[in-house]
Amino acid sequence: MNRRIAFVSGGIGGLGTEICRHLALCGHHVIAADLGARTERIAAFRAEVEDLAEHIRFEALDISDFDACAASIRRVEAEHGSLDVLVNAAGITRDTTLRKMSQEQWHSVLTVNLDGVFNLCRNAIEGMCARGYGRIVNISSVNGQTGQFGQTNYAAAKAGMHGFTMALAREVARKGVTVNSVSPGYCETAMVMQIAPEVREQIIADVPVGRLGKPSEIARVVAFLVAADSGFITGANIPVNGGYFMDF
Ligand code: CAA
């Protein structure tokens, strides 16, 4: 099998970094796309993936910019001949109750977390369909399934991602392209460490396995979904939350 080309938005983030590592270890060539202004984090990321530097490269991209997403994807396709795997892992929080939420807090979360998915999928989907192969994984959240106090913006975006996933999965199923979402619970990431310690401790106490998830525990599910022999799984949402929310 030819080496697959994977594009990971939020690629230098808490989950993104581990997703890039897992995909590289599975034989993908990985483009980790993230904001170019995060210079310190970019340097840390380069150090964290140094052992896989041959297989992972950083690409500066603001996913809220549709034209920039188009240009980035065209560049990857021109350079490598295809873009086979797209993982939408970029996400931000602006937590506050709706009664205090500004329009800016609402729009910034929806723009990055949901418009970003549209911007990348819209530009990647044509090539995937034309080549008859593609794997898209959208990183949603348990809080898109349950809602969370202080997260009307984030929960709306994350629930929206899964509606998007199911609709697109139907549209491209006959073209060899699968579209799935993964809904992580609370994991050991900078985003979760921003929560006030007493609030975080209460959340952890409510997780049946009694701890935060590890980014690698999310990344291995992504690697499973993007495998060539996972072609019968589409439109699914895989919860990875330590039992925090159980559904069927
Ligand atoms: N449940 C019930 N009541 C709560 C509450 C909670 N979790 N948090 C605050 N309250 C109460 C407060 O005591 C306060 O009550 P009074 O009005 O009677 O005084 C009222 O609600 C309003 O509280 P605040 O003024 O403190 O509200 P705020 O707008 O400043 O926001 C918050 C509070 C910062 C959002 C806080 O609730 C919080 O941190 N919640 C958790 C958010 C969270 O889990 N974010 C996840 C980030 S990580 C992530 O998203 C990754 C992922 O996908 C899992």
Residue 27 Rama label (left phi>0; alpha psi -120 to 50; beta): left
pLDDT tens for 123-163 read 999 999 999 999 999 999 999 999 999 999 999 999 999 99
Residue 32 sits in a domain whose CATH number is 3.40.50.720
- pLDDT score recorded for residue 9: 98
Residues of the chain with pLDDT > 70, as a percent, come to 99
Q: What percent of the chain stands above pLDDT 90?
A: 98
Residue 16 belongs to a domain: yes
Contact 98, 81 (CB under 8 A): no
Ligand 1, atom 7, residue with closest C-alpha: 149
Q: Is 81 domain-assigned?
A: yes
Give the total number of structural domains in the chain: 1
pLDDT of residue 2: 59
Mean pLDDT of 56-68: 98
Q: How many angstroms separate the alpha carbon of residue 148 from the centre of ligand 1?
A: 8
Residue 175 lies in a domain: yes
Residue located nearest, by CA, to atom 48 of ligand 1: 192
In a domain, 40, yes or no: yes
Q: Is residue 101 part of a domain?
A: yes
In a domain, 157, yes or no: yes
Mean pLDDT over residues 74-92, rounded?
A: 98
pLDDT, position 133: 98
| 16 CA to centre of ligand 1 in angstroms | 26
| Residue 223, domain extent | 4-185+217-237
Protein residue with least CA distance to atom 23, ligand 1: 97
For a mutational test of ligand 1's pocket, the pick from 93, 97, 188, 218, i.e. the residue with the most ligand atoms closer than 8 A to its C-beta, is 97
Cα–Cα dist 6/122, whole Å: 16
Q: Reduced to 3 states, what is the DSSP secondary structure of residue 92?
A: coil
- Please check whether residue 226 is in contact with residue 87, taking contact to mean a CB–CB distance below 8 angstroms: yes
Q: Are 33 and 59 in contact (CB under 8 A)?
A: yes
User: Is ligand 1 within 6 A of the CB of residue 95?
Assistant: yes
Residue 199 beta carbon below 6 angstroms from any ligand 1 atom: yes
State yes or no: is 244 an active-site residue: no
DSSP symbol at 2: P
